[in-house]
Structure 1
Amino acid sequence: MTTCGLTLGKFAPLHRGHQCLIETALAEMDEVIVMVYDCPETTDVPLSVRANWVRQLYPTVKVIEAWDGPTEIGDTPAIKQAHETYVLRQLQGQRVTHFYSREFYGEHMSVALGAVNRLVDWTPQSTWEIRTAVPISATQIRASPYEHRQFLHPLVYRDLITHVVFLGAPSTGKTTLAEVLAQCHNTRWMPEYGREYWETHQVERRLSLEQLEAIAVGHLEREESHLAQANRYLFTDTNALTTYRFSLYYHGTATPYLTELANRCSARYDLVFLCETDIPYDDTWDRSGAGNRDVFQKQIVSDLLVRRIPFFRVSGDLQRRIRQAEKVLAQFQKYHNLLDSVPIAHD
C-alpha cells in the first residue's frame, strides 16, 4: 500500500523542529503533504513566503496553502471539529495514512483522517509543550529570531532580515552611513565589493564586461553570507544597479546576466536610500571627478524611477543623514505596504 504522510501548521517561522518533522515523514512515507496556514494574527510573513520555504527546501513535498483555514487554536470540541472539517476539505478525498505532528492535536486529527498518529520528538513522560530533540518553539523564535537563529535554516532566516541598501554616485557617503547604522543596531553591514575588486583587477582604470558581471555576482554572494549573520537589519553599500550603470558608462552595454541581476534588484531590497551629492567630493585617484558624480547621480535616480523602485533621500551632514534614516527604519515594517503609513486625504 502507498503511504502518505500529512503535517500542518503555521510555520511562522519554519524552524529545525518543523524540518525534523518533515524530514522524518520523507524518510518514512512514499508521499508527504505539508499544509501551511495563513495566520496574519501571528506573523507578518505572508503565507506565500512560508509555503515557499517548504517548497525550496523539500521539492518533493506537496504543499497546500490554507488561505481560509480556521484561526482559533485550542482543545475544545468546536475548534477540533473546525480544523478537522477544513483539513478534510482541503485534501479533496486524498487518502492520508499517517499524520505527523509535535502537538496535542495529533491525536484527534489522526482519528478524523483515519491515519496513524505519528508523533515526532515526543516522549510519554513529557507534556505537549516539551520537545527534546529540537528544544524550541516558533513563539520563542518570533520573540527573538537573532538569538535563536541556530534553529533556522539560512534560507528562512534571511527572509526575516530587513535588507537596506544605500545607492548614490561615488563619494556620496554610502559607506560611512551603512557602517555607522550597523554599529548603532549591532548588526552587519556589507561593503561595496566593486571597489575591492576594481583595485585588484583594473587595467588602466578599466574592467571588462565579464569582470563587471563578476563584481555583481561576488557582491550578491557576500550579501547572502552577511544576511545569515545579521541582526534584524543588513545595511548594504550599493548593489547590481550601480555595477550595471558603470557597465553602461564604460562599455555602452552590459552582459545579459548583469542586466538580469540589475533587474532583480527591484524585489531584492526592503528599503532603498539615495545618498545625495550635497557633501564635499572626495577626489581620490580611483574616481573620475565631481562633474561625473553629478551625471552618475542623475542616471541612478532615473534608473530607480524607470524601474519604479521606491526610495528615500538622505542629505546633509552625517548626523542629519542618520536621523533621516532612523526615522524611516522606525516606521518601516517588513512585509507591510509602505503606503499604509501615509494618510490619505479624503474629499
Structure 2
Amino acid sequence: MFENALVIGKFYPPHAGHRHLIETAAAGARSVWVLVQGSRFESLTAQQRADWLAEEFAAVGNVTVIAVRNDCPEDFFSDEIWMAQLENMRLALKMRGVESIDVLFSSESYGERLAQAFTAVHISVDPRRSAYPVSGTMCRENLATAWPLLVPAARRGMAVRIIVVGAESTGTTTLSEALSAHYRRRFPQLHDVVEYGRQFTYEKLAARQASAPQTRVEDLVWTAADFGLIAERQTQLEQAAAEASPLVIADTDALATTLWERYYLGEGSYGSFAAVGQLPRRDIYLLTDHNGVDFEDDGWREGEHRRAEMTEWFKESLVEAGHSWILLTGSHERRMATATAVIDAMLAQQAAFTSPGWAGRTSLAATE
C-alpha cells in the first residue's frame, strides 16, 4: 500500500475511464490526489470538472480532487515547457501540504516520465482503453453517443435543462409533450419529466376515497408537507432525466411548486421552499402565457379566474431568482418555433467544446 498517489488529467469531461483510473489508485494508496487541469481556452472550467469528480468520489474517504488552472502550452519535446508543467503540479500539491508522491497512476504515454520527475513509481492503468473504450476526445466529438459513459455528476451538470411552467390550462403540458416528441428523434433516451403534483393528487384522492368514496378533489386537504414531498420528487425526476439524456424537458419544477403552495395554502406556507434551495442549474424557463388560450376544465382545475395572477407570480419569481426565461405567446406553432430556436442554440453551445491549438487528441483506434 502506497502513501500518496497522484492522478492528473484534464477530465474534459470526466468519464468512466477516469473513474476506473481513480478507483484503481484509491485501492492502492492511503491518499489519492487528483489534479484536474483546465485552461481558459476550454468551455468547461477546471472547477466544474473537479466538482463533478469530487461528487463522484464523495463516499471514498481517501480521494481529494483539486482544480488547477493551467494555461501553459503542451509540448512534450520542450524541457522548458515540461518544467513549467511540473511546477504547476508541484505547487498545487504543496499548497495542500503534500511534499512527496510515492506513486503515479496514469493511462497516458507520458506517465513514466512524469513519475520519474516526482521520483515515484508509475502504475499504468488500461493504457489501451480496453476495459473502458472511451476517451475525452470521443466524448467531445460525439457527446450524445458518449453520454452514458460520463460520470453521473457530469451528466447532471452538463445537461441542457428546459423547464416549462405556467398557470392552469395555458398549454404547458401540450408544449412539453410536443417538445419531447420533437427532440426524441435526436435523443431517443430523452425522459418525460411529468408534473408529479398531478400524480400525487391522483394518489391522495384514491387513498381518501378508499375510506370515503364520495370524496372529490376539491375536498382534499393540503399540507405544507405535501408540497415539500412534491417538490423533492419533481427534482428527483428531473435529475434522473439529466442522467439519461443531454437534454431535459420538464413539465414544471420545484420553483413552480412553491407558487402552487402559495396558491393553495397562502403566503405563510413554506413546505416546498427547501427544495428550491437545492435546484439544479437551469438553462431557461419557458413560461406559457394565458392570453389567447382557452381554459379547459378537466375536472382537476380550480378555475380560470386566477390565471392572470398566477402568470404574474411566475414572472416575478423568475426575475427575482435571476433565471433566464421567455414568455411564450401566440399559437402553439409559434410557441414551438420560439422554443426550438432557443433549444437548438443551447444544444449547439453544449456540444461545442473548445480547446487550445496545442491540445492533443486521444484516438482509441491508435491504442488498440
Q: What is the TM-score normalised by the length of structure 2?
A: 0.82
The aligned residue for residue 324 of structure 2 is: 310
The counterpart of 1:140, out of the listed 138, 141, 158, is 138
Q: What is the SS of the residue equivalent to 1:27?
A: helix
Q: Does the alignment pair 1:179 with 2:177?
A: yes
Distance 1:292 1:206, change over 3 A: farther
Alpha-carbon displacement from aligned partner over 1:184-228 (angstroms, at most 9, x marks no partner)? 222333111111111221451442222222111221222222222
User: What is the total number of aligned residue pairs between the two structures?
Assistant: 326
State how far apart, in whole Å, the 2-side matches of 1:210 and 1:76 are: 63
Q: 1 or 2 for the larger relative contact order (CA 8 Å, sep ≥6)?
A: 2
State how far apart, in whole Å, the 2-side matches of 1:255 and 1:83 are: 55
The aligned residue for residue 12 of structure 1 is: 12
State how far apart, in whole Å, the 2-side matches of 1:73 and 1:179 are: 50
The aligned residue for residue 202 of structure 2 is: 199
After TM superposition, the structure 1 stretch with the greater mean CA deviation from structure 2, 248-257 or 133-142, is 248-257
1:102, 1:119 within 8 Å by CA — same for their partners in 2?
Answer: yes
State how far apart, in whole Å, the 2-side matches of 1:210 and 1:170 are: 22
The aligned residue for residue 164 of structure 1 is: 162
* Correspondence list, 1:118-157, <5 A: 118-122=123-127, 130-157=128-155
State how far apart, in whole Å, the 1-side matches of 2:319 and 2:283 are: 16
Shift of 1:89: 2.6
Question: Which AA in structure 2 matches 1:190?
Answer: V
In structure 1, runs of 5+ residues without a counterpart are 123-129, 337-347
The aligned residue for residue 212 of structure 2 is: none
The aligned residue for residue 90 of structure 1 is: 92
The aligned residue for residue 225 of structure 1 is: 240
Q: Does the alignment pair 1:48 with 2:61?
A: no
RMSD: 2.3
The counterpart of 2:301, out of the listed 280, 287, 295, is 287
Question: Which AA in structure 2 matches 1:153?
Answer: V
State how far apart, in whole Å, the 2-side matches of 1:85 and 1:284 are: 67
Distance 1:5 1:282, change over 3 A: same
Question: Which AA in structure 2 matches 1:250?
Answer: Y
Q: What is the TM-score normalised by the length of structure 1?
A: 0.87
1:247, 1:254 within 8 Å by CA — same for their partners in 2?
Answer: no
The aligned residue for residue 271 of structure 1 is: 284
Distance 1:90 1:306, change over 3 A: closer
Q: Name the % identity.
A: 27
Runs of 4+ in 1 over 6 A off after TM superposition: none
State how far apart, in whole Å, the 2-side matches of 1:100 and 1:321 are: 52
Question: Which AA in structure 1 matches 2:4?
Answer: C
The aligned residue for residue 329 of structure 1 is: 343
Shift of 1:175: 1.0
The counterpart of 1:106, out of the listed 103, 108, 111, is 111
Q: What is the SS of the residue equivalent to 2:131?
A: coil
Shift of 1:146: 2.7
